[in-house]
Amino acid sequence: MKTLKDPNTKKQIALKAFNDMMLAKAMADIYEDNRSICKYVHSTSRGHEAIQLATAYHLGPEDWVSPYYRDESLMLGLGFTPEELMLQLLAKADDPFSMGRSYYSHPSNKSSDRVQIIHQSSATGMQAIPTTGVAQGIKYIERFGLKKYTLPPVVVCSMGDNSVTEGEVSEAFQFAALHELPILFLVQDNGWGISVTKEEARTADAYEFVEGFIGLNRMRIDGTNFIESYEKMGEAIAYVRSERKPIVVCAKTVLIGHHTSGVRREFYREESELDLHRAKDPGKILREELLHYTDAATLESIVEQTRGLVEHSFKNAQAAAEPDPSTVSLHVFAPTPITEESGERSPEGVKEKIVMVDAAVHALQEIMYKHPEALLYGQDVGARIGGVFRETVTLGQKFGPERVFNTAIQEAYIIGSTTGMSAVGLKPIVEVQFADYLYPAINQLITEISKSCYLSGGKFPVSTLIRVPTGAYGGGGPYHSGSVESLLCHIKGIKVVYPSNAADFKGLLKAAYYDPNPVVVLEHKGLYWSKVAGTEDAKRVEPSQDYILPLGKALKVLEANPEQIALGRTLTIVTYGMGIYWAKQAAEDFPGRIEIIDLRTLVPLDEELVFQSVKLHSRCIVLSEESITNSFAQALAHRITYNCFTSLDAPVEAIGALDLPAVPINLALEKEMLPNADKLRQRIQALLQE
């Protein structure tokens, strides 16, 4: 740990801090003087410089930090230049963090010579879970010796005081404390949340709030005093580095600048209150301290030099090239290595068929034996029961509680932590117990996971496999029977898989594991054990251990008779999951006249096979279990119509459940709501007669 006991060291570090503070001040002044040029919304660190620089100076390339949108001084202290920051401010092509796609002080960094930084969103407090996931991943790596570190890494999550009122921050605190993770939560408390005062927003500050989290150490700091901040942050970071346990640091700061360039201080703050904050300007406080070690002329020279450097940097950033519009679609996904089907789907001599749930267990077992970086966690997936559907049974016993473990009821943490786990090179496989329970995690899935690859310019795709049991059967009721594929397919930046049989399930799980992007696998509960009438065919011969089925490849599971096609008496049903079995049952009444396409993957979608089939048969039904209005199925029907219009003999129909808010628990009501083979037969009959 660096200390200030030696006067020369103290002077050297204090002068460095003063230099960086003057850089931050000059940057804020220039942005204010050039508001028409600095047109994109931004915040500055004025009033927060001391605690941010004190934090940065104790971190090295082995460490990870998640700044928030006011942390430009932290970035300067980490070694990023004003020009690098300004390239993001002005959304230039050479913005090193996001290629001109994100706001000022929303960094990401993967270079080995600086602190590592995962993608940062603007959503208040949402970085707490992904950053805790980084610490969770580092602990796992250290436990299993997957990598050697020069120093034990420290993870820092920086946030404002109002972030602590977010529920997801509490999930991060709870997990970090329970699992003793090497993370420091830095809460910069300036007493304001835009125009909301601390008195309006909360009953306690962060220091008081975390008292009940047993195992979470805490510290207060005057965040306007650099000397105090430097010494205490050194102690806090040294504690995490040596003890490998978490700590919350509550640093009291002041807000001298605007909340953002668009929400200006004069809108809501009295001048007298601003004067109180200006009196605690960290630059002024440090200047008075430095006058004990140097003269005023030296300090004034630093002010002039930093102003000149910032002006030069601003001119360079202004002159830098704008992004090429043709790059706008780059980095939505990282390229996947799995593009072709491989391995044996039906190994020679194997006759016994397995149910879908066993196919999943076997696939994960094979993955985890081969890949020590793979781990599995979620609600009730551990050794005691192995999932409420037995979908992870035996895995806890085989791989132990550090690789297969239960979590609390924290869907946001389960999903969001995979961002950080992936960033450190692990492959988290997680499960949300029912599709209806996915909603608490949607914030993390949309705000953090889906955008990470795109907004980091491809540096941080989130490589995670998310299992979600879905669908209705047997009176599961309104909170255990939902279908969520439309919601998921609308989220750009994630892939969505929906297998209908054991062989596909195993092959798709393998492909999802090796995909460097976030993949959600929807698993119909009614198909797990083939207990629903008509789903016996979901059982299949188990593919070989090396079998992989690429995402985005649909399959014809039933073909129409060529003679019937020639007579124009056929149609195609495009469906997935349980829809395959309704379609097969209905097709028995129309021998030779029905083609069935199993999509298998909803994102990416195999449009080529779908359009080819529709053009051949000229009639199409898109079948889904979801409520139909504004659904994935309805959107797909439109895509088919748009691309196959001249080949159609009738409008494309989308068939699904009734438009109800939930699946009723009563079996008769459930049946009335859902599609089934009988309802499908009626629509087929009507469509073939048109």
- For 544-577, the pLDDT digits (tens) are 999 999 999 999 999 999 999 999 999 999 999 9
Catalytic residue among 42, 480, 524, 617: 480
Q: What does the pLDDT read at residue 199? A: 87
DSSP 8-state class, residue 236 = H
> Model-level pTM?
0.96
Angle between helices 167-179 and 411-423 (to 10 degrees): 70
- Given the structure tokens 């990416």, which residue do they identify? 604
Which secondary-structure segment (H or E) carries 574?
A: strand 571-575
Q: Are 615 and 644 in contact (CB under 8 A)?
A: yes
Q: What does the pLDDT read at residue 7? A: 82
Residue 638 annotated to the active site: no
Q: Which of 409, 430, 412, 532 is nearest to 481 (CA)?
A: 532
Query: Rounded distance, CA 165 to CA 161, Å?
Result: 8
Q: Are 523 and 470 in contact (CB under 8 A)?
A: yes
Read off the pLDDT of residues 606-665 as tens digits, 9 standing for 90 and up: 999 999 999 999 999 999 999 999 999 999 999 999 999 999 999 999 999 999 999 999
| CA-to-CA separations, 155 to 121, 151, 184, 401, in angstroms, rounded | 17, 12, 6, 24
Q: What does the pLDDT read at residue 56? A: 98
Angle between helices 282-290 and 49-56 (to 10 degrees): 70
Query: Rounded distance, CA 236 to CA 152, Å?
Result: 14
Q: Which of 357, 379, 399 is nearest to 143 (CA)?
A: 399
Q: What does the pLDDT read at residue 123? A: 86
Low-confidence ranges of the chain (pLDDT < 50): none
Q: What does the pLDDT read at residue 2? A: 64
Q: What does the pLDDT read at residue 328? A: 97
Where b means 16+ CB within 10 Å and e means fewer, 638-673 reads eebeeebeeebeeebbbbbbeeeeebbeeeeebeeb
End-to-end CA distance of the chain: 80
